[in-house]
Structure 1
Amino acid sequence: MSVAFAKEESAEAASETILPARPISDRINLVTAAGFKMLQDELARAQQALKAANMLDDVNERRRQSAVPVRDMRYYAERVRTAQLMPVPASNQVVAFGHTVAFERDDGRTQTFRIVGEDEANPSQASISHGSPVALALIGKTVGDVVLLGQRELEILSIS
């Protein structure tokens, strides 16, 4: 095999194994206790995947299999490092990080979401990031307050 083919193969393998970093928001990394545990679990899962990839004999396959775990380890290590664990809100008087808020939209729909950290937010599971437009509109408000979200109104029904 000529050197040209070896270099081409090495360049191809290298490009497959260097993934761009997962984007990290510049927003403060607030987390609930469950969110912090999730970050730690994901970091451990990435470390295990890298360990398994490093057991492979074929160097090119090892590089390919370790690319995602290496990227994920960097991301989750940084998220764990910068996490600010927030206590459970002491009062349900004013909407804050960690609260579950029920509100009615001006079209009559009622929705309930828990305000959590970015990594644990999942609107389909009734949780939204503290940096989402809805959370930003609700934080600091009380039951009965009507807030504007764009051209829409939301009335806070309950805080728990």
Structure 2
Amino acid sequence: MSRAFVKEGDGALDPLPDLPLSPHPNYVTPRGLAALQARLRDLQTTLASLKARAERLDKLPEAAAERDIRYVEARLRSAILIDPAELPLDEVAFGLAVLVEDADGVQSRYEITGEDEADAARGRIAPQSPLARALIGAEVGDSVTWRRPAGAVTLEIIEISHADQ
């Protein structure tokens, strides 16, 4: 191969491209904000230990940690804190928990949280999700339609409460 096509350099990596940021407002609960702050501290500790290694030929882990730090810092800068404890329980809103029942009588509990805190296995859903969009603004006794790829489901709002923090 011709030397014209070989990139010569100082051995340093170019910075990894930044992770994409959500175009939606970055609403966070106090728990979500604390988790982001803890994640930033953990990443900074990881980066410091990577830079303290005696053998640093592989700089990719450092570049990945730096990229992740930039992402979390951007999420923290754009965070809009909403304290659910201050919200009334008259309608479903960000930060609140809602108990719903489907047509078969099966009850499920969901909490509308920030994107970084969302975890379907724990019933924590992002406000942009189809389920959250169907629930937000509903009151106890209302029926809402959750449009899913597998078909629409009607859910009755049973209870609105403050989430366990």
Q: TM-score, normalised by structure 1?
A: 0.85
Is the 8 Å Cα contact of residues 143 and 157 (structure 1) preserved in structure 2?
A: yes
**Which range moves more in the overlay, 86-95 or 35-44?**
86-95
The equivalent of 2:140 in structure 1 is 143
Structure 1 runs of 4+ aligned residues shifted over 4 Å read 7-13
Number of equivalent positions: 152
Counterpart AA for 2:153: R
How far the C-alpha of 1:20 sits from its partner, in A, is 3.5
Cα deviation for residue 92 of structure 1 reads 0.9
In the alignment, what sits opposite 1:85? 81
Q: Which letter maps to 1:20?
A: P
Unaligned stretches of 5+ residues in structure 1: none
The answer to whether the 8 A contact 1:101-1:112 is kept is yes
Native 8 Å contact 1:13 1:60 kept in 2: no
Would you say 1:65 and 2:61 are equivalent positions?
A: yes
Q: Deviations over 1:54-90 (max 9, x none)?
A: 11233422x1220221111011000000000002243
Aligned counterparts of 2:17 and 2:97: Cα–Cα separation in 1: 35
* Cα shift at 1:109: 2.4
Which region of structure 1 is more displaced relative to structure 2, 25-34 or 87-96? 87-96
Q: Deviations over 1:9-65 (max 9, x none)?
A: 969973xx743322211010000000001001111111111111111233422x122
- Secondary structure in 1 aligned to 2:22? coil
Higher fraction of helix: 1
The question of 1:76 aligning with 2:56 is answered: no
Deviations 1:89-145 (A, max 9, x none): 431111111111011123432210111100001111121111111111111110111
Provide the C-alpha distance between the structure 1 equivalents of 2:105 and 2:57, rounded to a whole number of angstroms: 57
Residue number among 38, 47, 52 corresponding to 2:49 in the alignment: 52
Between the aligned partners of 1:19 and 1:107, the Cα distance in structure 2 is: 49
Point out where structure 2 has 5 or more consecutive residues left out of the alignment: none
Bigger CA drift: 96-105 or 146-155?
146-155
Letter in 1 for 2:157: I
* Structure 1 residue 149, shift from structure 2 partner: 1.6
Pairwise CA RMSD: 2.2
Structure 2 CA distance for aligned equivalents of residues 106 and 23 of structure 1: 39
3-state SS of 1:130 partner: coil
TM (norm. structure 2) is 0.82
Instruction: Label 1:18 to 1:106 Cα distance change in 2 as closer, same or farther (>3 A).
Output: farther
